[in-house]
A and B are shown apart, each in its own frame.
Chain A
Amino acid sequence: MSRPGNRIEPEASEAQEEAQRWERETRAPFVASHPERREAFVTQALKWPIQPLYTPADLDASGFDYARDLGYPGEYPYTRGTQPNGHRSSLWTMSQVTGFGKGEDWARRARYMLEQGLQGLILEHDLPTTNGYDSDNPLVEGEVGRAGLAVDSLEDLERAFDLPFERLKYLMSVCNAPQPVNLAMIIAALEKKGVDPRRFVVHIVNGILIEYTCVGRYIFPPVHGLRIATDCIEYIIRNHPNWAPISIISAQLQPAKANPVQELAFSMAIAMAYIDATLARGLPIDTIAPYFHFVVNVDMDFFEGICKLRAYRKVWARLMQERYGAKLPAALKIRMMTSPTTIALTLQQPLNNIGRLAIMATACALGGAGEAMTTPLHDEAHSLPAEEAIRVGAALQHIVAHETGVADTIDPLAGSYYVESLTKQIETAAMAEIDKIQAMGGALKAIETGYFQRALGREQYERNRDIEEGRRKWVGVNHLVVPGEKRQIEIFRADGRVEEEQVARLRELRARRDPEAVAQALEAVREAARTGANLVSPCLAAVKVYATHGELCDAMREVFGVHTPDSQLTGV
């Protein structure tokens, strides 16, 4: 994997000699009288040295080969994009996150977002639901309906799905730990609304392995977490082949301060763990691979971001072909949604964030954008999505797409000496890290032994030190600070009534439903958990008789136990 062209050649190439001459005759004398403004120039997250200039010599040195490293759009290894015509035939799908409140509140906000020209919605649940508790559990007091939708029973989702389904292309749901229950609820609710599942895409994130790595919203021990995620993947592939059963949200590794190489390598290793588990269910790689989908963030280092997106496509294609023997183009082409990262945004001077988002969205587009792009809101760090912020967020993507021209030719930065050098460097380092993880037994083992968590903890601490000690400038935080700026933080107030109403509805439902049927359905779920049978079908039967979300999760807790990691502080 090293650089073949680098050491074999005995004498420097002509290009190298020219570059050295320029350095000697022109740049060095200039720098002698005009010292550089920084002691060292390094990339933002990886801290790799940045040369003053990249020339054809650098491509030669890295063993760059156009046909092998880039190829053509829509062809292996897909570095220049998975679409044969880039974004010239159609733009990426533009989406935004929404959540909050009871079912009908969410439906109202979702309709507003659809009116703003968005076609996909992301359904976020509140923390009690995400962590597998009902709204009346004493542990969750004050959290009901706060960070997203509260779903205790099928009835809550029926209310939330009061949507114009004719305009909606897809619904993405993030509710990882209790995934079979969540999936069952969605299937049952769509059935009740009469939505044809063949003409609508449900996209479950199903990202439990990243939860163990850094997000923390897990319930069961990792080995069971992987098993129930695999149940959902298998169920969707066999029953709703047009749906999307798995997303690797690499983007979640970024707030945990993963650098681009860690992000790429950890995501791929995690994908391989799901793939291995799904292969064991008897599905072939060419069937499985096309279902994998990645959500990748771009940070403020423009080139790290762009090169990372290009490396993602190539590393996936290589892994599928070289390690799994995938043959179909659909299996070799990565599916990606890209997004500017929220961690680049500041509480201070929040309008500056619009500038940051525009730059990052441009980087996403230059890196190929993927099938979809989602943009966070400029005041997301400290307040609720106001309607104006939602509008600005949606407009931002349209500005990038229609006003800059970056989407008008395919992979416009290809051939840049710097871009190609950095892309290759990221690819090489990531492949080495993937090999290291595979050698330790794969992503599940890396999670169980805390390898991922420790690696990320170190990055978090270092990044914070860099900012606090001023090695890294951040406008509004340690540079161009407005003295005495009031940091206004606005949070979603759980209107006490939302929780009260939700709890009252739940109690009323419990009194009204058929207790016998519920008890039987829950036992069937326990039984499937014990025997290893696919959990989605018994969960579906249970939600239809209105077994609650928390009851179903409890049934699984009884069989699987709960996960308490060695340390919940990453890196300690």
Chain B
Amino acid sequence: MTDLAAEVLAGRPAAGARLIRWLEDGDARGRALLPRIHAAAGRAHVVGVTGPPGAGKSTLVDLLVAEERSRGRRVGVLAVDPTSPFTGGAILGDRLRMSRHALDAGVFIRSMGSRGAHGGLSRSTYDACLVLDAMGHEVIFVETVGVGQEEMDVVGLAHTTVILAVPGLGDEVQALKAGLLEAGEVIVINKADRDGFEQTRRHLELLLHLREGARPEGHWRTPLLVATASRGEGAAAIVDALDAHRAHLEAGGGFAAAATRRDERQFLSLARAALTDALLRGRGGALLAQVRDRSLDPYTAATRLAALLGGADPGVT
């Protein structure tokens, strides 16, 4: 059998693609390779791109990919689209807006269904990111399901988050006000040729100004940029801002710290799942049965499950 991890580290697309599939599908063969992949990762600049539906995220990513390529970098893209909660199926259509990169060996694009996750990414987006990183992609764009301010998992994943706004959506500005804006390191108004552009820009400028004023000296200053992705305008300034943010992070130790934070989060989430699974498979299984037949309330059951780790007997209060 070929050494898939070695092929991934050598940057072979088919190998990376297969590993991502295993990770998405929860296939044990994928998990077994992750330690080697993780050891090789940590170099890529992970850029999240989020915004409301119809903001033109894929078109903008397409443009940013082209700009990054013109600067000689290898680029990965993870594009997440919603999975139907009813059927488990999905139509993943982001890729078609990036079709001009189809034959560029320096670009790897992967579409992912959200598969039941609600944070705008899928459960395996982080792992897929590691794979693209280990393959040698220098910049990885992660395009989220565009839903709303609740779906902000990407902020925890990315070094830099680009928030996309478009003119003419009143409630979208409200959403930005409420939280999205806090999260973004780069704000882009796309579709600058649309009616209502000036109004949206003034509004966002004001909000940013208020926020920046409250920040300490030396804090990253969030730029407000403008693009008309459908006409190919605005990419250079955005990539300049991404580079500046990376430099800012590196200067303050934030680049490595972001990876550490991601690892910590991933460890906690994996540990929670693994411990719970192990306990429930073992002596804790009786507790689940008791919850199911309503002979025990879930609160007591959880306390007792945790107590098992200290060696307590599941039956004893």
B91 to A561, Cβ gap below 8 A?
Answer: no
B97 to A561, Cβ gap below 8 A?
Answer: no
Q: Within the complex, what minimum Cβ distance (angstroms) separates B91 from chain A?
A: 5
Known contacts: A564-B59, A568-B96. The answer to whether A221 contacts B91 by CB under 8 A is no
The one of B54, B93, B231 that contacts A561, using a Cβ cutoff of 8 Å: B231
Bound Cα distance A572, B91 (Å)? 8
Bound Cα distance A561, B229 (Å)? 11
Q: Within the complex, what minimum Cβ distance (angstroms) separates A224 from chain B?
A: 10
The one of B54, B91, B232 that contacts A569, using a Cβ cutoff of 8 Å: B91
Residue B199 CB within 8 A of the other chain: no
How many residue pairs bridge A and B at CB < 8 Å?
Answer: 20
Query: What residues on B are CB-neighbors of A409 within 8 Å?
Result: none
Bound Cα distance A569, B97 (Å)? 12
Residue A566 CB within 8 A of the other chain: yes
Query: What residues on B are CB-neighbors of A569 within 8 Å?
Result: 91, 93
Given contact pairs A561-B230, A561-B232, A568-B96, enumerate 5 new A-B contacts (beta carbons under 8 Å): A561-B231, A567-B93, A567-B96, A568-B93, A569-B91
Residue A449 CB within 8 A of the other chain: yes
Q: Within the complex, what minimum Cβ distance (angstroms) separates B24 from chain A?
A: 22
Residue B300 CB within 8 A of the other chain: no
Q: Within the complex, what minimum Cβ distance (angstroms) separates A313 from chain B?
A: 35
The one of B54, B91, B99 that contacts A564, using a Cβ cutoff of 8 Å: B99
Instruction: Place the interface of chain B in its size category.
Output: 10 to 19
Which residues of A from 407 to 466 have beta carbons under 8 Å from B?
A: 449
Q: Within the complex, what minimum Cβ distance (angstroms) separates B281 from chain A?
A: 41
Central interface residue in A564, A569, A572, by most chain B CB within 10 Å: A564
Bound Cα distance A183, B230 (Å)? 27
A541-572, CB under 8 A of B: which get 1 and which 0? 00000000000000000000100101111001
Q: Within the complex, what minimum Cβ distance (angstroms) separates B26 from chain A?
A: 27
Bound Cα distance A372, B17 (Å)? 56
Bound Cα distance A350, B91 (Å)? 35
Bound Cα distance A449, B166 (Å)? 13
B232 to A566, Cβ gap below 8 A?
Answer: no
Known contacts: A221-B230, A449-B54. The answer to whether A564 contacts B97 by CB under 8 A is yes
B44-69, CB under 8 A of A: which get 1 and which 0? 00000000001000010000000000
Query: What residues on A are CB-neighbors of B91 within 8 Å?
Result: 569, 572
Query: What residues on B are CB-neighbors of A572 within 8 Å?
Result: 91, 93
Q: Is the interface of B mostly helix, strand, loop or mixed?
A: helix
B250-276, CB under 8 A of A: which get 1 and which 0? 000000000000000000000000000
Query: What residues on B are CB-neighbors of A449 within 8 Å?
Result: 54
Q: Within the complex, what minimum Cβ distance (angstroms) separates B287 from chain A?
A: 45
Query: What residues on A are CB-neighbors of B96 within 8 Å?
Result: 564, 567-568
Cross-chain pairs A/B with CB under 8 angstroms, 20 sampled: A221-B230, A221-B231, A449-B54, A561-B230, A561-B231, A561-B232, A564-B59, A564-B96, A564-B97, A564-B99, A566-B54, A566-B97, A567-B93, A567-B96, A568-B93, A568-B96, A569-B91, A569-B93, A572-B91, A572-B93
B106-132, CB under 8 A of A: which get 1 and which 0? 000000000000000000000000000
Bound Cα distance A377, B97 (Å)? 37
Bound Cα distance A572, B231 (Å)? 23
Bound Cα distance A36, B59 (Å)? 54
**Which single residue of chain B is at the shortest CB-CB distance from A223?**
B193
Bound Cα distance A7, B96 (Å)? 52
Query: What residues on A are CB-neighbors of B59 within 8 Å?
Result: 564
**Which single residue of chain B is at the shortest CB-CB distance from A560?**
B231
Q: Within the complex, what minimum Cβ distance (angstroms) separates B195 from chain A?
A: 8
Bound Cα distance A567, B54 (Å)? 11
B211-237, CB under 8 A of A: which get 1 and which 0? 000000000000000000011100000
Bound Cα distance A434, B6 (Å)? 60
Bound Cα distance A324, B257 (Å)? 64
B177-194, CB under 8 A of A: which get 1 and which 0? 000000000000000000
Q: Within the complex, what minimum Cβ distance (angstroms) separates A566 from chain B?
A: 7
Query: What residues on A are CB-neighbors of B232 within 8 Å?
Result: 561
Central interface residue in B93, B99, B230, B231, by most chain A CB within 10 Å: B230
A200-240, CB under 8 A of B: which get 1 and which 0? 00000000000000000000010000000000000000000
A229-270, CB under 8 A of B: which get 1 and which 0? 000000000000000000000000000000000000000000
Query: What residues on A are CB-neighbors of B54 within 8 Å?
Result: 449, 566
Query: What residues on A are CB-neighbors of B97 within 8 Å?
Result: 564, 566
**Which single residue of chain A is at the shortest CB-CB distance from B194?**
A448
Q: Within the complex, what minimum Cβ distance (angstroms) separates B155 from chain A?
A: 25
Central interface residue in A566, A568, A569, by most chain B CB within 10 Å: A566
Bound Cα distance A568, B93 (Å)? 9
Query: What residues on B are CB-neighbors of A561 within 8 Å?
Result: 230-232
Bound Cα distance A276, B59 (Å)? 29
Query: What residues on B are CB-neighbors of A221 within 8 Å?
Result: 230-231
Query: What residues on A are CB-neighbors of B231 within 8 Å?
Result: 221, 561
Query: What residues on B are CB-neighbors of A564 within 8 Å?
Result: 59, 96-97, 99
Bound Cα distance A572, B96 (Å)? 13
Bound Cα distance A564, B97 (Å)? 6
Bound Cα distance A564, B98 (Å)? 9
Query: What residues on B are CB-neighbors of A567 within 8 Å?
Result: 93, 96
Query: What residues on A are CB-neighbors of B93 within 8 Å?
Result: 567-569, 572
Q: Within the complex, what minimum Cβ distance (angstroms) separates B28 from chain A?
A: 34
**Which single residue of chain B is at the shortest CB-CB distance from A224?**
B231
Bound Cα distance A572, B94 (Å)? 11
Query: What residues on B are CB-neighbors of A566 within 8 Å?
Result: 54, 97
Which residues of A from 69 to 90 have beta carbons under 8 Å from B?
A: none
Bound Cα distance A202, B228 (Å)? 38
**Which single residue of chain B is at the shortest CB-CB distance from A221?**
B230
Bound Cα distance A569, B95 (Å)? 13
Bound Cα distance A449, B230 (Å)? 13
**Which single residue of chain B is at the shortest CB-CB distance from A449?**
B54
Q: Within the complex, what minimum Cβ distance (angstroms) separates A18 from chain B?
A: 50
**Which single residue of chain A is at the shortest CB-CB distance from B193?**
A223
